[in-house]
Amino acid sequence: MQSDLDESDRRLLRAMQRDASASQAELAEAAGLSPSLVSRRLSRLKEAGVLRAIVGLVEPARIGLTCAAIIRVRLRDHSGANVKAFRDLITRMDEVTLCVMITGEADYLIKIIARDLPHFQALVQELLRCNAIAHLESSIVLEHLKDTTALPLPR
């Protein structure tokens, strides 16, 4: 689908990434399209899997989530059972907002959003109880210099 994106699609996607709650008319103006064409293009982009979801972004501090942390995880080994145990745990933990497999000394990088430090400590303890994990190293986020869901759209 990437090669099928034209400049109007990219303008529409940029507008959606800025504010998906914008009206059809506002999106049409931003994309240089008619409102009816915006609707058809959005449907096509959803069907093609370019638009995964249209969501509302919640400000963590406004709902009492004041502690963010990045955790690097190294598994004991990469056996199927260990990987499954780790993945099952991560998918159950709502506080994990990002988990990616990475290269380097760690196997995974996790982002956790917690109420406060005691809550974060309880989450770390839950991770440490997972026998699949050999080592973890955490860093508390002190400041968000950039935190965006907007992707750069290639030409």
pLDDT score recorded for residue 103: 98
pLDDT score recorded for residue 2: 54
pLDDT in tens, 99-142: 999 999 999 999 999 999 999 999 999 999 999 999 999 999 99
Task: Find the CATH number of the domain harbouring 71.
Answer: 3.30.70.920
- Is 64 in the same domain as 131? yes
Q: 36: which 2 tokens?
A: 């009816």
pLDDT score recorded for residue 4: 82
Residue 117 vs residues 9, 44, 93, 120: alpha-carbon distances, Å = 43, 44, 16, 5
- Is 38 in the same domain as 83? no
CB 22 within 8 A of CB 30: yes
Task: State the total domains in the chain.
Answer: 2
In a domain, 115, yes or no: yes
The residue segments making up the domain with residue 88 are: 60-140
Q: What beta strand segments (E) does the chain contain?
A: 67-75, 96-101, 108-114, 133-140
**Average pLDDT of adjacent 10-residue blocks, the chain of 155 residues:** 80 94 94 94 94 93 97 97 97 98 98 98 98 98 94 87
